[in-house]
Amino acid sequence: MPRYWIVAAYHADKPMIWEKVWQFNLENSLISIGWKELGDISEHSRDELRKAIEQTYSDSPPNIRTLYLNMLWSFYHEMASGDIIIARRGRKVIAAIGTVTSSAYYEHERNIKATGPENPYSNHIGVRWHDAPRGLEFRRMVFGMQTIYEITEDQYRSLMEQKDEPGEEHEDHIQDRAEFVLEKYLEDFIVTNFSKIFGNELELFTDPVEGVIGQQYGTEIGSIDILAIDRSSNSIVVIELKKGRESDRVVGQVLRYMGWVRENLATCDQSVRGLIICQDSDLRLQYALSMVDNIDVRYYEVDFRLANTSFGE
């Protein structure tokens, strides 16, 4: 059975270079990733790769080095012929979909004319790009911000059918449709006003490769609404909006995401906690959270007013 991978072809905020790189990828049936400072890591064991990352990126936070390790290990040792790659442009566009045709390999200057000598993408994997879909754009962000991550077959099929975003709840799991719609927009509001809402308590997790923030952080078990760092403890915080879902379901989802973050992103001395944001107090939610000590809940209020006026004033 094939595995399904999301891969960023290049930095979407550099459209001219992105287009050159992407055309090179199509013409040469491959996709490439960076980390040029590491040199040839194609034959490294996991321990050797970890040490190389720690030495090369010693100024980066430990969780970022762990992220590098997992992505590069996946590229060289988990992607295999027959797997499916979804090449993304930014977080809303499928550039193309292809089938992996070879193992990953290192060739420093293979695409240097496309990327420029200052930032060559030296790690490559062969891909047979399909004719369709190409340039498929979604209305909302559907991709996480990592350069490489895996999704499930169900998430892949949802993308192809354009039904919903990877990991998003299906309508039959929604108890309160009005709350669901409201909180889809509330997520963007929270991210835009994050420092005002959380002050110095939390900061948005920022991807060091693409420089984008931790909103809709993609994993193979779904997309985390918001990923943040607790400044005082350096713990990673998984933030989920309840979005009208049943209490048991949202608590279970937060716990699953926390488990994924602990396994794939957190360092051995870094804790992980959860935060659920919802509109109203929920007795079922209170009982569920009384059994765990690392998930908090916070409530929001909406103040919507219409001002009285007269025509002609």
**Per-domain boundaries in the chain:** 4-161, 171-299
Contact (Cβ atoms closer than 8 angstroms) between residue 254 and residue 238: yes
Task: Label residue 66 by pLDDT band (50, 70, 90).
Answer: confident
Mean pLDDT of 24-52: 94
Q: Do domains 4-161 and 171-299 have the same CATH topology?
A: no
Mean pLDDT, rounded, of the chain = 83
138-188 residue pLDDT tens: 877 788 778 899 988 988 988 888 644 444 444 444 344 444 445 567 888
Please, what's the largest Cα pairwise distance for the chain? 76
Mean pLDDT of 197-214: 78
Q: Pairing mode, if any, of strands 222-230 and 215-219?
A: antiparallel
| pLDDT value of residue 305 | 60
Instruction: Count the helices and strands in the chain (H runs, E runs).
Output: 9, 14
Residue written as token pair 């350096």? 234
Question: How many CA within 13 A on the CB side of residue 146?
Answer: 27
| Closest to 251 measured CA to CA, from 218, 227, 305, 287 | 287
Question: How many CA within 13 A on the CB side of residue 102?
Answer: 15
Residue written as token pair 């110095």? 200
215-254 residue pLDDT tens: 888 777 778 889 999 988 889 999 998 766 666 778 888 9
The CATH number assigned to the domain with range 4-161 reads: 3.10.590.10
Contact (Cβ atoms closer than 8 angstroms) between residue 181 and residue 40: no
The CATH number assigned to the domain with range 171-299 reads: 3.40.1350.10
Tokens of 115: 């990327």
- Report the phi/psi class of residue 130: left, alpha or beta, with left for phi > 0 and alpha for psi in -120 to 50: beta
| pLDDT value of residue 306 | 57
